[in-house]
Structure 1
């Protein structure tokens, strides 16, 4: 528990650095652009790529910066391209996902199992349970009626997204991206 508290403190202190703010702003822009690209597998199953920017921010700067980035990116995405009514629940989910990624990935050794576990936690608690609850509240549909299709989407997308993120992180590591971003500020 003490280690997690220290993660939040360290992540909070990351916000003092101009480099953190600049890289986070660039990752917000990248996330918004990647949000326009997705692969539609079925009408109910779409695999998007904006998660990459959220996870990279959380990996680099921790849960606080990741959560702030997720919330800001969600609001900007909505302002650029509104898709239905604005609902704060989805913004809260957009904040909680990167917070979980930050807890799992920030200043920790990177491995596929760690990334996969982080993806599963976000998929179950944020996307499946909380996201389904928001949809049932917003559209008046039964929670249990929405759950099976959303569960199938998570089961299909988690391994693909975890593998993709792992490949990207390993590639960026070989290109010394992380050492450049974390260099003296």
Structure 2
């Protein structure tokens, strides 16, 4: 009984600490880029503690970390925008999904080649990123398109190459698995759900906000994956059991 109480206390403290870090990184050390005149694209590192919470402590703890950090963060600093309940749902899922994925990985429920899946995700992101300039009014020169395509391809292939080169000491937190988790979260939550919530909240078309979020993904996905991978060497000190 005493051990169970100690476990719950340590878990709450750990999740609370990660939620606090997420609030600071999101509400203070982040930058909001307006799209179509609305503050809908936030560049920062606030998602990282939430993802880590789910990876280490499980889906429920991750979900609580994400939900609490979003609600309290908005109360502390709304950053000039209205409260959107859908974004709280997304923040909750951002902790829940990594927890579910890592629960499946730990229990050998997922048996896939992460490198191949990451390559497929990368191709989709490159296709979306290349489509963005092509869809702009007035077109784009062939040279600019080639340069843009090479930059987009480099950003996407970088984490794939690193996933092959970098080998972590503990296979559970290898770079390819972390990249897979971050990519799935970005696709499902940032690209789909958050874009939908923002389109509804600001009464704009879904496609009005999507291109900018695709471009941001070229940087956010590899950068967040690298940061989480670097931090993963200290995960063993954060485990409760």
Same fold (TM over 0.5): yes
8 Å contact from structure 2 (residues 195, 206) kept in 1:
yes
Q: Partner residue of 1:60?
A: 56
Mapped to 2, the partners of 1:70 and 1:59 lie a distance apart of 12
8 Å contact from structure 1 (residues 55, 98) kept in 2:
yes
Residues 137 and 31 from structure 1, CA distance in 2 versus in 1: closer, same or farther, beyond 3 angstroms?
Answer: same
Structure 2 spans left out of the alignment, 5+ residues:
36-40, 107-171
Where has structure 1 moved over 4 Å in runs of 4 or more?
A: 13-16, 42-46
Q: Partner residue of 2:144?
A: none
Q: Partner residue of 1:69?
A: 65
- SS of 1:157's equivalent in the other structure is helix
TM-aligned CA deviation for residue 156 of structure 1: 2.0
**2:71 equivalent to 1:49:** no
Q: With structure 1 as the length reference, what TM-score do the two structures score?
A: 0.80
Mapped to 2, the partners of 1:68 and 1:15 lie a distance apart of 19
Which residues in structure 2 correspond to 1:110-121 (within 5 Å)? 110-121=173-184
TM-aligned CA deviation for residue 65 of structure 1: 0.9
**2:90 equivalent to 1:27:** no
Aligned CA RMSD, in angstroms, stands at 2.5
Q: With structure 2 as the length reference, what TM-score do the two structures score?
A: 0.62
Q: Partner residue of 2:169?
A: none
Which residues in structure 2 correspond to 1:1-185 (within 5 Å)? 17-35=8-26, 36-38=28-30, 47-83=43-79, 84-106=81-103, 108=106, 109-170=172-233, 172-173=234-235, 176-178=236-238, 181-183=239-241
TM-aligned CA deviation for residue 121 of structure 1: 0.7
TM-aligned CA deviation for residue 48 of structure 1: 1.1
Q: How many residues align?
A: 165
Mapped to 2, the partners of 1:72 and 1:126 lie a distance apart of 17
